[in-house]
Amino acid sequence: MGLPFGMALADKGQNVALYDINEATIGKVNDGIVPFKENGAEPVLKRVLKAKRLRATNDPSVIGQSKIVVTVIGTPVDEHLNPRVHDITRAIKEIEDQLRDDQLLIMRSTLYPGVTDKVQRYLKKRGKKTLVAFCPERIVEGHALTELYELPQIVAGCTPEATKRATALFKVLTDKVLVTKPKEAELAKLFTNTWRYINFAISNQFYMIAQAGGMDFYNIYDAMTTDYPRLKAFAKAGLAAGPCLFKDTMQLSAFSGNNFFLGHSAMLVNEGLPDFIVDGMQHKYDLSDKTVGVLGMAFKADKDDPRESLSYRLMKRLEVEADTVLCHDPFIKDPRFVSLDEITKRADIIVVATPHSEYRDLDWKGKKVVDMWNYYGNGGLI
């Protein structure tokens, strides 16, 4: 998230230093290599490096030399699903000595409601007048370099001066700036991700109901959505995962005193889909002597990001139930994974876990294909 944001600003003429602690990533970025799949990013990176408007470094003194400091450190959830707000407060303490009174500190990644004000109070207590703002990132991975210019930016300063200076920065990218209070912006970001997570859960629950009743979910889906504008947001069924949606839904739950039944239900449905698939397969086929091929381990199609991917949950359940499990992903390097050729030769049953484009034209030669996404148009049947 930090790299595309820095590149977008640099491409609009700002001087950007990317401070990171990962030496390998720093080396790649300074060599013009984007370390993850991001559409159209490499030419932009090369351009801003050549113009000397961007560089990556592990030297923390760049923090003190900058007019504006942007952090992308998030709030993960712990093993009890509580938000770990200390990650951000610890990071602020780490850079505290570098922060100056005339600087603006922008926090960009999702925060538990109240954390922006807490950071501002902390800095004030330490005698710092650094301006503080929360401006949540809302891009989707892979499309950062179009969305950073197209999406409205939510800007929430702790003071009017912080809002004014943060607005001026984002106006470099877009004319569409929306101003809220920090806690409102923190909730706006959590509501956005949670809305998406619940929306996917509706589709997944309906899919399970249709499947359990022996029906073709996608026939029903088409009948419901064709030329029916009110169901435009009705997603297809499929594994709903990744580093943001689950975590942010649980943060919202913690914020609502753990009384967020809708959020927890969505979690049970989405996290339960791999189990539903494996149970369905077991019901239909005796898996104990079967080799199952799992296609796609990234959390999303055509991405190279395995973080919190439910394909791994599917793999682990299948490893218990099936004789052999063979996994493939075109973008993720993992010594456990095999080639598509090997899956084609050895697998008795194929499960489409992540519908990467590369799988589109494969000929499975009559093999059983479990396809919750309806990628091959078989109605999503197990």
Ligand X SMILES: NC(=O)c1ccc[n+]([C@@H]2O[C@H](COP(=O)([O-])OP(=O)(O)OC[C@H]3O[C@@H](n4cnc5c(N)ncnc54)[C@H](O)[C@@H]3O)[C@@H](O)[C@H]2O)c1
Phi, psi angles (nearest 5°) of residue 132: -125, 135
Mark out the alpha helices in 23-159 (DSSP H runs): 23-30, 41-50, 61-65, 86-95, 115-125, 144-150
Tell me which amino acid residue 17 is. Answer: A
Q: Helix, strand or coil for residue 132?
A: strand
Q: Which residues pair with 326 in a beta bridge?
A: 293
User: Is the CB of 46 or the CB of 143 nearer to ligand X?
Assistant: 143
If binding is defined by CB under 6 A, does position 65 make contact with ligand X? no
User: Is the CB of 176 or the CB of 346 nearer to ligand X?
Assistant: 176
If binding is defined by CB under 6 A, does position 25 make contact with ligand X? yes
Per-position x/- string for 40-59, each x denoting binding to ligand X as judged by CB under 6 A, each - no binding: --------------------
C-beta of 111: minimal distance to ligand X in Å?
9
Question: Which of left, alpha, beta for 296 (phi over 0: left; psi -120 to 50: alpha)?
Answer: left
If binding is defined by CB under 6 A, does position 137 make contact with ligand X? yes
C-beta of 23: minimal distance to ligand X in Å?
9
C-beta of 72: minimal distance to ligand X in Å?
5
Question: Do 380 and 237 form a contact (C-beta atoms < 8 A)?
Answer: yes
User: Is the CB of 76 or the CB of 330 nearer to ligand X?
Assistant: 76
C-beta of 5: minimal distance to ligand X in Å?
9
If binding is defined by CB under 6 A, does position 24 make contact with ligand X? no
Question: Near ligand X by CB under 6 A, which window of 18-26, 151-159, 167-175, 353-361?
Answer: 18-26
- What sign for the dihedral angle of Cα 255, 261, 264, 266? negative
For helices 217-225 and 182-212, give the axis angle rounded to 10 degrees: 130
Which helix (DSSP H) or strand (DSSP E) does residue 169 occupy?
A: helix 160-170
If binding is defined by CB under 6 A, does position 38 make contact with ligand X? no
Question: Near ligand X by CB under 6 A, which window of 121-129, 133-141, 330-338, 361-369?
Answer: 133-141
Q: Which residues pair with 295 in a beta bridge?
A: 328, 352
> What number of H helices and E strands is found in the chain?
14, 11
Tell me which amino acid residue 181 is. Answer: K
**Which of 103, 110, 253, 309 is in the footprint of ligand X by CB under 6 A?**
110
Who contacts 330 (Cβ-Cβ below 8 Å, separation ≥6)? Answer: 356, 358
DSSP conformational letter for 147: H
Q: What's the full length of the chain, in residues?
A: 382
User: Is the CB of 24 or the CB of 320 nearer to ligand X?
Assistant: 24
If binding is defined by CB under 6 A, does position 243 make contact with ligand X? yes
If binding is defined by CB under 6 A, does position 19 make contact with ligand X? yes
If binding is defined by CB under 6 A, does position 72 make contact with ligand X? yes
Per-position x/- string for 139-168, each x denoting binding to ligand X as judged by CB under 6 A, each - no binding: x-x---------------------------
User: Is the CB of 5 or the CB of 218 nearer to ligand X?
Assistant: 5
**Residue with the shortest CB distance to ligand X:** 74
C-beta of 19: minimal distance to ligand X in Å?
6
